[in-house]
């Protein structure tokens, strides 16, 4: 069924009127929502210090595996984020690095590390303290050079 020219014009005007009404109502709804949000939202820069501290205490951050470096120590995988520490640990021999990681990431005693690595406790203690000195020297030197 074909529409006559006048009928087609009537349909076009009806559609035009309907479209304008929809857009006007949508704009009104958006403005109303924005006014409601303005009542309750606060910019971070305008937030009182106490609220910022509460927000920071509740906030979380995502950690992704590509931001960390993984080291293995006696079958345990240890992820480290700090690039300077990763560099320093990479400078150590594998056994010394494992001893440091087991001692400080897992809180293992020299005796437990010695048993796990099939070593003498005194050797573990010596390598741990020697490695810590190397780490301190490496990281201290890097921090002083940057600062």
- Give domain limits for the chain: 10-39, 65-146
At residue 147, does pLDDT exceed 50? no
At residue 23, does pLDDT exceed 50? yes
Please state, as a whole number, how many other Cβ atoms lie within 10 Å of the Cβ of residue 91.
Answer: 13
Output the CA–CA distances (angstroms, integers) from residue 68 to 45, 107, 117, 132, 144, in the order listed.
31, 21, 25, 21, 24
pLDDT for the residue 144: 52
Do the strands 76-80 and 69-73 form a parallel or antiparallel pair, or are they unpaired? antiparallel
Distance CA 130, CA 63 (A): 32
Which of the residue ranges 54-58, 133-137, 143-147 has the most confident prediction, judged by mean pLDDT? Answer: 133-137
Mean pLDDT of 77-97: 91
- Per-residue confidence at 62, pLDDT binned at 50, 70, 90? confident
Q: Which two tokens stand for residue 68?
A: 């960390």
CATH class, range 65-146 = mainly alpha
90-116 residue pLDDT tens: 999 999 999 999 999 999 999 999 999
pLDDT for the residue 86: 92
**Residues 134, 137, 143, 147: what is their CA dihedral angle, to the nearest 10 degrees?**
-170
pLDDT for the residue 120: 95
Percent of the chain exceeding pLDDT 90 equals 56
**Residues 7, 8, 13, 16: what is their CA dihedral angle, to the nearest 10 degrees?**
150
Please state, as a whole number, how many other Cβ atoms lie within 10 Å of the Cβ of residue 124.
Answer: 26
Which distant-in-sequence residues (6+ apart) come within 8 Å of 128 by Cβ?
Answer: 96, 99, 100, 103, 110, 113
Which distant-in-sequence residues (6+ apart) come within 8 Å of 36 by Cβ?
Answer: none
Report the DSSP beta bridge partners of residue 72: 77
């Amino acid at each position: 069924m074909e529409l006559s020219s006048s009928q087609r014009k009537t349909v076009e005007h009806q559609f035009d009127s309907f479209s304008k009404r929809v857009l006007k109502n949508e704009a009104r709804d958006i403005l109303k929502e924005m006014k409601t949000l303005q009542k309750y939202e606060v910019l971070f820069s305008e937030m009182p210090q106490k609220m910022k501290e509460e927000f920071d205490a509740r906030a979380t951050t995502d950690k992704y595996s590509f931001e960390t470096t993984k080291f293995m120590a006696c079958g345990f995988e240890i992820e480290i984020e700090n690039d300077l520490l990763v560099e320093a640990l990479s400078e150590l021999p594998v056994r010394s690095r494992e001893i440091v990681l087991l001692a400080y990431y897992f809180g293992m005693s020299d005796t437990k590390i010695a048993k796990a690595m099939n070593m003498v406790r005194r050797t573990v203690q010596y390598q741990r303290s020697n490695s810590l000195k190397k780490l301190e020297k490496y990281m201290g030197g890097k921090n002083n050079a940057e600062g």
